[in-house]
Amino acid sequence: MKLRAWGILAFLGALLVGALLWAAVAGTVSIPLGRTLSIIAHVLRFGPAPDGPTYEEAILLAVRLPRVCLAALAGGGLALAGTVMQGFFRNPMADPGVVGVSAGAALGSVIALYAGWATASVLWLPVAAFAGGLGTAFLVYAIATSHGKTPVSTLLLAGIAVGGMAVSLTSFVLSLALANYEIGRQMMLWLMGGLEGRTWLHVRLVTPLVLGGSVWLCFYVRDLNVLLTGEESALSLGIDVPRTRRTLLVLSTLVTAATVSVAGIVGFVGLVVPHILRLLIGPDHRQLLPASFLGGALFLVLADLFCRTLIESEELRLGVVTSLVGGPFFIYLLIKNRRGVEIL
């Protein structure tokens, strides 16, 4: 099983490299693979300046590569956070949105747009979304915690309640903004998810949070594996279960809030990708966490490529595409395995 799991990891890595190159090459302006590689090599100081039209270099470096990098980061972060939450909740239905991160980020973003902060600086929108997601998650945790204990069922119910309130407040702000067509349009586009217009500034903003949080989470693979056997077993092996859950929740929330802050609401990545990979390589988080990051990155890179190339004159919304793909597939998985699914 271990050999098969590491083989799947290598296969996912190879597929991700291929998808990244495909996404860099393809688009309204198609750039040959050889020229793409030579431009990247020159930027990394591994080769001379390439010959050819300068506009291709500008498109690749200023528009396409930042978007492709963000798609990989966002997909990997969401899938890994979903894997961790499903692990410590011991619930295959858990995902990053269960503690209100996505709903809070949506509320923060629409407030920033309605107040006009987003027009003052390109950083205000992701910062407001990040603050909203993180703030909502901590509010959920504070409500669910009593005398130092945080029951999983209470945490899930608190997340549903607070997330629902955040969605209602988001709808309220959106209704106020509909009088201004442009602001209302920006809000709707962000709520449907997307990566158009993202720059290297956004990449620099989220890379330390997503990669740092993901690496930190990987140090808890043993604890996650033990938590799968039950809380009593974890306590008998010397694991501080409440503290470990708090740490895992904080790190997962941090990674999720960072990705949502630049990609908008992108559903089902943190729900479906871990579920599929768990069926393929098993529940061992030593292989499952890196596989989820690679699988999530691959899924979102391909989904974003589909969004911008399917219709030549229009761009589909990333969140809509991931929901259309993930929703029916997850329903199929639920029907197929419903006798073995424990909701709480």
User: pLDDT tier at 328 (50, 70, 90 boundaries)?
Assistant: confident
Q: pLDDT tens digits for 207-221?
A: 999 999 999 999 999
Q: What is the DSSP letter of 50?
A: P
For 58, 105, 179, the CA distances from 246, given in Å and listed in that order, are 44, 20, 42
- The CA distance from 137 to 130, in Å, is 11
Q: What is the DSSP letter of 339?
A: G
Q: With helix as H, strand as E and coil as C, how does 209-222 read?
A: HHHHHHHHHHCCHH
Mean pLDDT value of segment 240-249: 83
pLDDT at 213: 93
- The CA distance from 320 to 308, in Å, is 13
Q: Does domain 2-340 have CATH number 1.10.3470.10?
A: yes
Give 43 or 290, the one with higher predicted confidence. Answer: 290
Nearest one of 128, 267, 255 to 192, comparing CA atoms: 267
- The CA distance from 17 to 301, in Å, is 10
- The CA distance from 130 to 208, in Å, is 14
Q: Is the pLDDT of residue 71 over 90?
A: yes
Tell me the three state secondary structure of residue 129.
helix
Tokens, residue 344:
């709480």
Mean pLDDT value of segment 122-134: 85
Q: Looking only at Cα atoms, what is the longest distance across the chain?
A: 67
Q: pLDDT tens digits for 85-114?
A: 888 877 777 777 777 888 898 899 889 888
pTM attached to this predicted model: 0.89
Q: Are 286 and 221 in contact (CB under 8 A)?
A: yes
Per the document, the length of the chain is 344
pLDDT at 1: 55
pLDDT at 13: 94
- The CA distance from 7 to 2, in Å, is 8
Nearest one of 217, 208, 209, 210 to 86, comparing CA atoms: 217
Tokens, residue 52:
């050819």
Q: Is the pLDDT of residue 342 over 50?
A: no
Provide DSSP, 259-322: HHHHH----SHHHHHHHHHHHHH-S-HHHHHHHHHHHHHHHHHHHHHHHHHSSTT----HHHHH
Mean pLDDT value of segment 309-321: 85
Which stretch of DSSP H or E encloses residue 183? helix 181-191
pLDDT at 306: 93
- The CA distance from 30 to 7, in Å, is 33
Mean pLDDT value of segment 279-287: 88
Mean pLDDT value of segment 280-290: 90
pLDDT at 207: 94
pLDDT at 338: 58
- The CA distance from 254 to 243, in Å, is 16
For 20, 51, 186, 320, the CA distances from 308, given in Å and listed in that order, are 14, 27, 18, 13
Tokens, residue 245:
């859950």
- In the chain, what percentage of residues exceed pLDDT 90? 28
Q: pLDDT tens digits for 28-69?
A: 888 888 888 888 887 887 777 677 668 888 889 999 999 999
- In the chain, what percentage of residues exceed pLDDT 70? 94
Nearest one of 90, 80, 14 to 290, comparing CA atoms: 80
Mean pLDDT value of segment 163-183: 87
Sign of the CA dihedral running 224, 322, 75, 291: positive
Q: What residues does each domain of the chain span?
A: 2-340
Among the listed ranges 5-19, 51-65, 304-318, 323-337, which one has the minimum average pLDDT value?
323-337
Mean pLDDT value of segment 241-266: 86
The average confidence (pLDDT) of the chain is 85
- The CA distance from 16 to 76, in Å, is 11
Tokens, residue 157:
């119910």
Q: Is the pLDDT of residue 275 over 70?
A: yes
User: pLDDT tier at 302 (50, 70, 90 boundaries)?
Assistant: very high
Tokens, residue 27:
């688009």
User: pLDDT tier at 339 (50, 70, 90 boundaries)?
Assistant: low
Q: What is the DSSP letter of 149?
A: B
Mean pLDDT value of segment 294-317: 90
